[in-house]
Structures are given as structure tokens and as C-alpha cells.
Structure 1
Amino acid sequence: MTDLPTPPDALPATLQTLRTAWQARRPDAAQRRDDLARLRAALQRRLDEMAGAISADFGHRSRHESLIADGMTVLADIDHLRRELRGWMRPRRVAAGWRLWPARAQLRSVPLGVVGVIAPWNYPVNLALIPLATAIAAGNHVYLKPSEHTPRTSAFLAALLAEVFPPERVAVALGDADVGAAFAALPFDHLVFTGSTAVGRKVMAAAAPNLTPLTLELGGKSPAIVCPGHPLEAAAARLVSGKLFNAGQTCIAPDYVLVDAARRDALVEALRAEVARRYADPAGRADDYTHIVSAAQFQRLSGLLEDARARGLDVLPLLEMTGARAFPPTLVVDPGDEAAVMREEIFGPVLPVIGYTSLDAAIDSVNTRERPLALYPFGDRAQVEHILARTVSGGVTVNDTLLHFAANRLPFGGVGASGMGAYHGRAGFDSMTKALPVLWQPRIAATDWLRPPYARISALIERMVR
């Protein structure tokens, strides 16, 4: 396996190789389980190599964050897929209804063929291998396009997958945005894309001529709402965990936090204290604090803060950082809707803190924006239920952040501008298979009677339409 870019004109031939091999022999349950077991073993054996490749791409990334986010999550998901696979594959009996008696009906989960996966840079192993493993569990072959922004990790993935799978079962395309555009235009049987909403629109347009079914995992501004009376120290600790993991380069990171106005400044101080506790030791800070993936992303984040300062907003850096792309955790207090930090997805360690006059006003503020990928309500049961009854989001973690992603029995996906479709566990298996309806007709069937001359069975027909 080479780490040279894949010529765009070579993509269709590789797709055809994958499709021809799948048509010749669809993977059965034993093959799928074996594939997943070998993928798990290979990844676990090379976790340190994986963490090193990701850190090199980021300039520095916490080894422990890589083990959690790109190691543990993938291994746990593979374990779940292998444990549940036979039950998911089993045909499900459904009622045919008395009008079709004595027919029998069932649903079969039939693999689609070749699934394409376009993975992003922020969790470059997790967001490549979880959809890939799900597609394998569903009985498909896979063509993966990892991110060009993490080239060492992409080369690692190519080598890892070449070790586990023959090239006619799993292939990898390497290259820049031109390769990605050509990849999205291929006639896949299903395509999974994870990335920004803007690029998601382009992927959807590229897939449209082939009517390729899509799972789009996009982004957006995911809010946290701290309800009146909720302990601020507890909320601050969990908000910091969600915001600073991977330096905020997480599609479901809390993008802004709404808190009752009387406690806004107290929450700011609680967030400041929590960050200081976690990163008090400069040596530990250097190890544990992930850098921004590229100079371009660093400049984009700097531009958000320059815009906030130009508007006269309170911009509060919480740490002094060293390192070429170590961006300090920063709060922006009460930015208006026109500030860049409130118009764009932040995707970094910057957190706007906004005071609200009432909980309903906070909910109204959330509802004026595109539906978010995640929502984080902090409050008691009645407060949280009130928020859930009036909002729509891709997923929710109550009184915490991020963790619904790791619950592999919960579907993960967006809604509206934050995405379409879902994967993880059974939801991913279902999206990458066809629920094939099969009606078994016995030797005696309803059609033997339902035919002209209808006068002889008019009483039966009248009964059937009651």
C-alpha cells in the first residue's frame, strides 16, 4: 500500500473491483465476524503508532486523548458489532395480516454492496474506522477516503487496512480535495460523509446524479443551557471537559453556553477556576493540551477573537500557552448574534458565555438557529424535559457533554443542517443494509380467490374493505 495520492481517474476502476468481488461472494456472518476480529486485533496492536501519527499531524495531540477518542471508541464499537451481529442478521418475522392469510412475511437485512466513507481530520481514526467497521458488519465492501489534512494518520490507516483486508474488500484513496470531490461523485451503494455543513452540501450535490443514499454527519453550533439553580461548579467541570477535549476540535463540542444572567459572571469564574486546576502544572499542560491541527485553523480561530475584540467584547484567555499551534482556552462574554463567534461553528477552545433572562428566552435563542448536532441541558428533570419538549437536535447528553456519542446503542446523527441519517450500532447496520421485505406464499393463496368473476366473491370483498 502506497501513501502517494490516488489519481482521480483511478477511482472508478477500484470501485468496480470492489463491486465485482462483492457480487461474486457476499460476506457471510463468519467472514464478517472474522474481519472485525482481525481489524480489532491489528488496531489494538498498533495503538501507540496510531497516537504518534495523530500527534505528528496535529503538531501535538495528547496521547491519552488519542487512546480514548480514536482507540477506545473504535474497539468498543467493534466489540458491540461482533456481539450483536448474528441477532441483527437474523430474518425478522412480521405479520402479513389476515387479508393475506395464510401467507407469511419477514424482513431480511441485505447488504447493499460497496459503501464509501469520507472521514475528517479531527478524529481521523475514529471517524474512519467506526463507519468502516459498521459497513463490514453489514456485509459490504468499503472504499475509504481519509483526510488530506492528517497525512501521517491517513498513511497509517492505509497500512493498517492493507494488513487486515484484501484490496478487493477494502480500499483506500489518498489525496486532496480534488480526489475527495471525485470520490463523492462515484456511484456508491451508500456514502458516509463526516465534516462541515458547507462541504456536506457539496458532497450531497456530487452524489445526487447517482441518487447515492447518504449519511451526512455535519456540525453546527451545539448549545449548552445551564438552568437556574443548577450547581455552577459541576456544570463548569463538565463544560470544560467537553470544550477542551481535543482542544475543542469536536463536532459535538459545546459551541456556546447559556446561563441565567444573574449567575453569568459566577459561571465565568467557575470555568476559569476549573481550567486552572486542570492545567496548573506547565509540564502536564504541555502533554495533555492538544494543539490546533493546522496554521490555517489557528488563524481562523484568531480571527474569531479579533472580531470579538473589535466589537468591544470581553475576551478572556484562561491560560498562557507555548507551542506553535497551542491555542489558549478563551471565554467570550455575551457576544451578540452578529459576532463571528456566534455566526460560525467555532471548532476550537473558544467558548461564548451568554446570560439569559428566562429559560424560555434561552430556548427561543436556540430555536432561532439551525438545528444543532448536540444539545447539553444542565438542570433538574422538569427543566430538562421542558427544554427537550421545545427543541430538536441531533442528540442530547443531560448534565454532561459529549458522552452520547460513546453510547453505541444510541444512534448518532444530525438533523437538518447538522446532518441526515445516523450510524453507531444497530442504526448504522440498518442504514448500510436494505430491509428486504419477503412474502412467502403457500400453495393455497388469496390470489386463487380474488379474481373475476367478482360477483361470486362480492361478500368477501365487502368484508375486506370494512
Structure 2
Amino acid sequence: MADARALLQARLEQQRHAFTAEPYPSAALRRDRLARLSTMTRHHRDEIVRAIRQDFGHRAEAETRLTEIATLLQAVGHARRRLKRWMKPRRTAVPWRLVPARARVHHQPLGVVGIIAPANYPWQLALLPAVDALAAGNRVMLKPSEHAPTTAALMARLAGRYFDPAELDVVEGDAEVGRAFAALPFDHLLFTGPASIGRQVAGVAAERLTPVTLELGGKTPAIVADDADLTHAARRIAFGKWLNAGQTCIAPDHVLIDAARLPAFVEALREAVAAFYPHGTASDDYSAVPGEAGRARLEAMLTEARDHGCRVIELGERIELNRGAKLPPTLVIDPTVRLAIMQEEIFGPWLPVIGLRDFDAALERVAEGPCPLALYAFTDDPARRRRLLEETRSGGVVFNDTLWHSAVPGLPFGGVGESGMGAYHGEAGFLRFSHQRSVFVQSRRSPVGLLNPPYRKWLLKLLGL
């Protein structure tokens, strides 16, 4: 392990020396780095699809192209088109007492940015933060998940072909390597994953005063109000929940709905699943859940819910694969708050559906709980939408749909409270990985010299001080 730490430190120092030699890359060079990232992804998309499928046991090809490849290419294009505007210093007003001095904000690269990525979207969640970090002029060291080893190996090989390791360096390795990686003295560290690991990463980074961005997920609720169209709500929730078999940090975790409408909503979910996956879990468009530990955790949740009398509705059959397994879309009706399925982020294809008194009860329940990474609400009532925005907290809010806010490059993506800290994507990511440096330019004819000691009471009074 000592050898691994020394090797990682040497790779960090290589990047740091390169950054010191070129602390403010030109817009042309930044655009070139982004273009190479795009080319690396676009030209090797079939290899990426195969690698992710192998890591999962089965991953729907359309889901990989949509969520891993198209999302990254869109982010690169967005950044390249707007980079010069983002880099331009921003002028700011100065108090009248300091006129004719000038002030501006200069966006300075931080240095070397570390990224620790998860396995659920192993290409996108590793390289999407790298887009923002490279746009901001930084060097990047990246630790892909050890739970997606085929994708990590492909990423390391391709990065070595398209980038100098002093620009973008991909570090393969197990959890021990990941812990050593988190302890490196980066200028900024971004972690995506569960809150339990995020706390450890934040603690290790704090010892070196390394600033962190944490994307942690949580219990994302979907509220279905009494004015919502049940068919539409069911289809959009079904899409968001069972994309990637529920292994999405912003997937709907549970549904809150008026108790009187719950039976009809369950039937609408049945119809949506049947329409999306006509061959059930055998459909090529339905993805697998990799990792024995993760599946065991999910099975324990479901067993506990059954043991406590919850009605469990399986909308398909379980299929075992060489690597991973296809777990069916499953509804759990009215679980109590003390069950694990309502305490932990599910991160799988189980969907609790909970009947409540009305919209006010649902809003109260969300407001009292931990802040989720996303909040979904199906209602066209402007007053209800306003109340939801004012009375709850979450990383993002979506009305009448799920997930798609993360595909808008201009929207910041990040959590609050238990769901994380800091945001990136687009300009928010450029700013996250930049130091907003204050610049003040004094005029030679400035009157501030009048404020030198000895202080004149009449002047202080004149200036309103």
C-alpha cells in the first residue's frame, strides 16, 4: 500500500508541475482538450457499450448510449461553445467612495482536480465532472469505480491514447487505492456515491483542507397530486425508476399519493411497465443489477417488507446472468417509515407506493425528511408548485416528469444537506472548479488618500461614516 501511495503521489506531482508551468491555459487549448474527450467517446462508443454491458451482466444498449455517451457529448459541446464567455473577467460595481477605482472577478484554474466515480454510470459520472474541470483550465486525476473494472480499464487505455497523463490521468485500482486517492492533496476533490462513503471521503479530505464536492443521492420522493393525470404520472415515474433498473441517484425512490387514488395508480404502473418492457425482464431494454452485495441488500429490504405485512407486487421474473441479475420492477405498498426500504436509498428496482391523506400531508412528509437530490411533483396547480418550492429543500425540482433536469447543461446539478454539497454541470461546474479571484485596480487620482490618519471628523461625517 505504501508503494501505491508513493505512485499516486508521483502522478499527482507530475500534474502539479505541468500546471505550474502553464497555470492559465488558453481558451484554444481548453477547447482542444474538450474536443479530444469528445472524440475519445464518440469514436469508441461501441467499445464503451460492450464494456459497460460486461460489467453489468446486461445493460440496455439504448440506455448506455443515452445516459453515458449522448450526455457527455452534449456537455462537451455546451462547454466549448460558451467557454470564452465563461473565461471573460466579470466586472463589478465599486462603492461611490472608491470611484474611479475598478473591480472585476477573474476566474483562475484551481490546479489539479481529483474525481472519484461510482459504478452505476461508469463513463458519464467519471468524465462529466472532467468536462467542467478541463474547461476551467485544470489538470484531472480520475479514479473510476473498481466495481466496473472493464469500463475502468477501457477508460485508462483510451485516456492514455488521447491525453498526456499530465492533462488527464485515469487511476485504476481497488478500494484501498481509492482510499489512498482520496487522501491526496488535490486542489479540489469531487466524489459521487453513497453518503456513507462520502462522509469518509470528506473526513480524509478535511485533514488536508481539500475542498470537496459531494454528490450523494438519497430518498428522492415523487408526489402525485389529486389533479395529476395518473397515466402520465405512472409512465414518467416508471421511466425514471426503471431506467438502469433503478440504479440512478436521482431515480424516484418512493411515491406519495392520495390514498383514494393509490389502487388506480398501481394499475397505471402495471400498464406502463408492460408497455415499456413487453417481454418483461427478458426484454433487452431492461438492465441488470451487478454485484452480489448490492443484490443481497435489495433482497433483504424486500424480505423485511414482506415480513412486516406489506403487499409486494412483482411486475416480472428474476433472471440470473453470468454477471449480475435482472431483478423485476417491484411495487411495495404502504411500507412503514421504520423499514429499511424507507430508511435507506433503495438504488434498485423496488418502488414503495404510499397512500396519504392529501397533498398537504405529502408536502409535510417531504419537508420533515432529509433533503433529497431531486424532488418530483405531478401537479399543474401554480399554488401547489409555489408551496413546494418554498416549503421544501432538494438539489433539484422537476414538475410532471423525472430525471430530465440532469440533461440540461445550463442547470446546476448537486445536492443539499444529506444529498451532498456543491454543484456542477455547465457554467456551475466551470465556477466550481475555478477560483473566483477578486481584482481591484486603484486609480492614481483616487480620493481614498483623504482617509489616511489623522482622521478628519468633518470628512467622515461628509462621507456618511
Aligned residue for 1:408?
409
- Aligned residue identity for 1:232: L
Q: Given that residues 223 and 376 in structure 1 are in contact (C-alpha distance below 8 angstroms), is that contact kept between their aligned partners in structure 2?
A: yes
What's the CA shift for 1:465? 2.8
Match for 2:298 among 301, 305, 309? 301
- Aligned residue identity for 1:199: I
Q: Report the Cα distance in structure 2 between the residues aligned to 1:68 and 1:14, rounded to whole angstroms.
A: 33
Q: Report the Cα distance in structure 2 between the residues aligned to 1:98 and 1:175, rounded to whole angstroms.
A: 57
SS at match of 1:288: coil
Q: Report the Cα distance in structure 1 between the residues aligned to 2:17 and 2:188, rounded to whole angstroms.
A: 16
Aligned residue for 2:21?
24
- Aligned residue identity for 1:20: H
Q: Given that residues 282 and 319 in structure 2 are in contact (C-alpha distance below 8 angstroms), is that contact kept between their aligned partners in structure 1?
A: no
Deviates more, 1:59-68 or 1:384-393: 384-393
Aligned residue for 1:430?
431
Q: Given that residues 328 and 349 in structure 1 are in contact (C-alpha distance below 8 angstroms), is that contact kept between their aligned partners in structure 2?
A: yes
Output one character per residue of 1:51-95: Cα deviation in whole Å (capped at 9) or x when no partner.
100000000000110000000100000001101100000011111
Unaligned runs of 5+ in 1: 1-5
Output one character per residue of 1:146-169: Cα deviation in whole Å (capped at 9) or x when no partner.
100000000111112112210111
Match for 2:188 among 177, 190, 197? 190
Q: Given that residues 240 and 271 in structure 1 are in contact (C-alpha distance below 8 angstroms), is that contact kept between their aligned partners in structure 2?
A: yes
- Aligned residue identity for 1:181: R
Aligned residue for 1:3?
none
Match for 1:57 among 31, 55, 70? 55
Aligned residue for 1:94?
92
- Aligned residue identity for 1:427: A
Aligned residue for 2:464?
465
Structure 1 length-normalised TM:
0.96
Q: Report the Cα distance in structure 2 between the residues aligned to 1:321 and 1:204, rounded to whole angstroms.
A: 37
Q: Given that residues 276 and 319 in structure 1 are in contact (C-alpha distance below 8 angstroms), is that contact kept between their aligned partners in structure 2?
A: no
Q: Report the Cα distance in structure 2 between the residues aligned to 1:156 and 1:14, rounded to whole angstroms.
A: 19
Q: Given that residues 317 and 327 in structure 2 are in contact (C-alpha distance below 8 angstroms), is that contact kept between their aligned partners in structure 1?
A: no
Match for 1:246 among 228, 244, 247? 244
Aligned residue for 1:323?
320
Q: Given that residues 423 and 429 in structure 1 are in contact (C-alpha distance below 8 angstroms), is that contact kept between their aligned partners in structure 2?
A: yes
Aligned residue for 1:387?
388
What's the CA shift for 1:229? 2.2
- Aligned residue identity for 1:214: V
Aligned residue for 1:9?
6
What's the CA shift for 1:268? 0.7
Aligned residue for 1:41?
39
Q: Report the Cα distance in structure 2 between the residues aligned to 1:315 and 1:199, rounded to whole angstroms.
A: 30
What's the CA shift for 1:314? 0.3
Aligned residue for 1:258?
256
Output one character per residue of 1:112-148: Cα deviation in whole Å (capped at 9) or x when no partner.
1000000000011111111011100000000101100
What's the CA shift for 1:231? 0.9
Deviates more, 1:224-233 or 1:159-168: 159-168
What's the CA shift for 1:357? 0.4
What's the CA shift for 1:285? 4.0
What's the CA shift for 1:10? 1.2
Aligned residue for 1:231?
229
What's the CA shift for 1:197? 0.6
Match for 2:153 among 134, 152, 155? 155
Aligned residue for 1:339?
339
SS at match of 2:293: helix
Match for 1:219 among 217, 220, 225? 217
Q: Report the Cα distance in structure 1 between the residues aligned to 2:264 and 2:453, rounded to whole angstroms.
A: 80
Q: Given that residues 305 and 341 in structure 2 are in contact (C-alpha distance below 8 angstroms), is that contact kept between their aligned partners in structure 1?
A: yes
Q: Report the Cα distance in structure 1 between the residues aligned to 2:430 and 2:133, rounded to whole angstroms.
A: 7
Q: How does 1:282-293 map to 2 (within 5 A)?
A: 285-293=282-290
Q: Report the Cα distance in structure 2 between the residues aligned to 1:327 and 1:395, rounded to whole angstroms.
A: 28
What is the aligned residue count? Answer: 459
- Which structure 1 residue ranges, 4+ long, deviate > 3 Å from structure 2? none
Q: Report the Cα distance in structure 1 between the residues aligned to 2:190 and 2:453, rounded to whole angstroms.
A: 50
SS at match of 1:287: coil
What's the CA shift for 1:338? 1.2
Aligned residue for 2:361?
361
SS at match of 2:164: coil
SS at match of 2:348: coil
What's the CA shift for 1:462? 1.5
Q: Report the Cα distance in structure 2 between the residues aligned to 1:331 and 1:127, rounded to whole angstroms.
A: 28
SS at match of 1:72: helix
Q: Given that residues 8 and 178 in structure 1 are in contact (C-alpha distance below 8 angstroms), is that contact kept between their aligned partners in structure 2?
A: no
